[in-house]
Amino acid sequence: MASYNLFLLPGDGIGPEVMAEVEKILAWFKAKGIASFNTDRGLVGGCAYDAHGAAISEADMEKAMAADAVLFGAVGGPKWDKVPYDVRPEAGLLRLRKDLGLFANLRPAICYPALADASSLKKDVVEGLDILIVRELTGGVYFGEPKTITDLGNGQKRGIDTQVYDTFEIERISRVAFELAKTRKGKVSSAEKRNVMKTGVLWNEIVTRVHKEEYSSIQLEHVLADNCAMQLVRWPKQYDVIVTDNLFGDVLSDVAAMLTGSLGMLPSASLGAPDAKTKRRKALYEPVHGSAPDIAGTGAANPIAMIASFGMALRYSFGLGEWADKLDQAISAVLAKGLRTKDIAGDKPANATTSQMGEAILQEIQALA
Ligand code: IPM
Ligand code: MG
C-alpha cells in the first residue's frame, strides 16, 4: 500500500472541526488498504502566534516543505485583530504559499444538483454549474514591493501596494489553465484590467502568445476582471476555466463560491511546479472559506469544502483520481438525501452538525468501496 506524509495545519476557528472530519476519512483509507497517510500536525495562524509569537514556526515550515502534501484548515479571528501585521494569522498562509512556491491555485465551483435552490441566484442560472478558477498565487499585489505605509509629515499618510508580474509567472499560470481546459470543455477566459493596469496589458499579451504558440486548439477569450465579476452572477455557465491574477482571483473565487450555494462548499488546491527529477509537485489543499469564529465550536460548520479539498489532494498529489471521484459522488449523494448544515439549509433549520455531515459522507464512500 502506498504511503504518504500528510502535514495537517488545522489552524483557528472552525479549522480544527472540519479537519477532524477529514481525519476520519484518512483513517478509513488506511484501514481499507487504499493508501496509508502518515499524518503530523502543526500550528498556523492565531494559535501559532499564541504558542510561538509567529504565524507559523520554523519547525512547522520545515515539516510543510518535507511533506507530500499539506492540508490546511483556516486562520484568523477577532482575538488576533491587534497582533502586529507581520505575524497576523494570514501571514502564516501567505508564507506557506510563497516559500513552497505554490503558484497555481485551483478553485473549482460546482453546483451540486441538490443545492441549486440554496444559491441566492435563480436556479436555472446555477444548476449544473461546473467552472474552475485558476488563480495565480505567489505574485501580484500580495507580494509586490514596495508595500508600505509612510508618514508624509503633513498629517497625511501614504499606503502603497505594488502589483508586479514577470513574463514567466504569467506563462506558467496560463499553461496550467490551458492544460486543465484540455481535460474539461476546452475554453479559457483570461481576466485582467488591461484598460487601467500595465500588468493587465502584459498579462493579456503573454496569455495570447502562450495560446498561439502552444494551445491553439483551446478556445481563448479575454475579459476585463470587473466584467467577469458581473458575468459570473449574470450567466456563469458561459465559463469553463477562468485564469486570473492573485487579487482578482481572490475576489472572483468568493463570487463563484456563492454560486454553489455557500462558501462552505468550495475546495482549493495550491500547486507548485513539478520537481525536475521526481515530477512531484509541492501542494497545499485548503477550503476557500475562512475560520468563521462566530460559529466555531457550535457544530454548525460545513465540512464539505475541507473534505473536497482532501479529494483534490487524492487527485493532484496521490494519483487516486478514482477515489477523488468517489468522494465527489459521496458528497453529492449525501446532499441528495437532504442532509444540510446551517449554511446550505436555506430558510429551513439545519438537520446535520459538522460531524453528522462528515460521518454521512464517510458512510457513502464506504458504500461505494
Ligand atoms: C483566500 C483568502 C486569503 C487570500 C486570506 C486569508 C489571506 O481570502 O485564500 O482566498 O486573500 O488569499
Ligand atoms: Mg479569499
* In the chain, domain spans: 1-103+273-369, 130-259
C-alpha cell at 14: 472552525
Residues contacting residue 30 through CB under 8 Å, at least 6 positions apart: 36, 37
Distance between CA atoms of 282 and 291, rounded to whole angstroms?
Answer: 24
C-alpha cell at 273: 511546479
Q: Determine the straight-line distance between the first and last CA of the chain, rounded to whole angstroms.
A: 16
User: If we measure between CA atoms, which residue out of 290, 283, 257, 289 comes closest to residue 269?
Assistant: 283
Catalytic residues: 142, 193, 226, 250, 254
Q: Which of 72, 81, 88, 90 to mutate to test the pocket of ligand 1 (most atoms within 8 A of CB)?
A: 90
What length is written for the chain? 369
Ligand with the closest atom to the CA of 105: 1
Q: What is the pLDDT of residue 281?
A: 95
The 10 Å CB-count burial string (b at 16+, else e) for 238-274 is ebbbbbbbbbbbbebbebbbbbbbbbbbbbbbbbbee
Q: What is the pLDDT of residue 213?
A: 98
Ligand with the closest atom to the CA of 55: 1
- Cis, bond preceding 146 (omega within 30 deg of 0): yes
Q: Give me the sheet containing 187-192, strands edge to edge.
A: 36-41, 3-11, 69-74, 283-287, 267-271, 104-110, 130-136, 241-244, 187-192, 219-224
Ligand 1 atom with least separation from CA of 97: 12
The CATH code belonging to domain 130-259 is 3.40.718.10
User: If we measure between CA atoms, which residue out of 23, 56, 24 comes closest to residue 40?
Assistant: 23
Distance between CA atoms of 171 and 103, rounded to whole angstroms?
Answer: 11
- The residue ranges of the chain whose pLDDT is under 70 are none
Q: Do domains 1-103+273-369 and 130-259 have the same CATH topology?
A: yes
Atom 8 (ligand 1) nearest CA: 250
* Residue that the C-alpha cell 488591461 belongs to: 194
Q: What is the pLDDT of residue 300?
A: 97
Number of other residues whose CB lies within 10 A of the CB of residue 118:
21
Q: What is the pLDDT of residue 279?
A: 86
What is the residue type of 103?
F
316-358 pLDDT per residue, tens: 999 999 999 999 999 999 999 999 999 999 889 999 999 999 9
Beta partners for residue 11, in sequence order = 74
Atom 11 (ligand 1) nearest CA: 250
Ion ligand 2 neighbours, Cβ < 5 Å: 250
Gap from CA of 93 to ligand 1 centroid (Å): 8
Q: What is the pLDDT of residue 262?
A: 87
Q: Does domain 1-103+273-369 have CATH number 1.10.1040.10?
A: no
**pTM for this prediction:** 0.96
- Kindly list the protein residues whose Cβ atom lies closer than 6 A to any atom of ligand 1: 90, 93, 250, 288
Residue 148, H or E segment: strand 148-151
Q: What is the pLDDT of residue 46?
A: 98
Binning the chain into helix, strand and coil, the percentages to the nearest 5 are 45, 20, 35
Measured CA angle at 241 (ends 235, 244), to 5 deg: 100
186 by Cβ neighbours in 10 Å (0-12 / 13-18 / 19+) ranks as middle
Distance between CA atoms of 20 and 39, rounded to whole angstroms?
Answer: 12
Give, in order, the Cα–Cα distances in Å from 11 to each of 49, 50, 107, 153, 353: 11, 12, 20, 40, 20
Gap from CA of 26 to ligand 2 centroid (Å): 27
Gap from CA of 324 to ligand 1 centroid (Å): 24
Ligand with the closest atom to the CA of 247: 1
What is the residue type of 131?
I
Gap from CA of 77 to ligand 2 centroid (Å): 15
Indicate the SS3 state at residue 310: helix
Q: What is the pLDDT of residue 71?
A: 98
Distance between CA atoms of 176 and 274, rounded to whole angstroms?
Answer: 12
Q: What is the pLDDT of residue 369?
A: 87
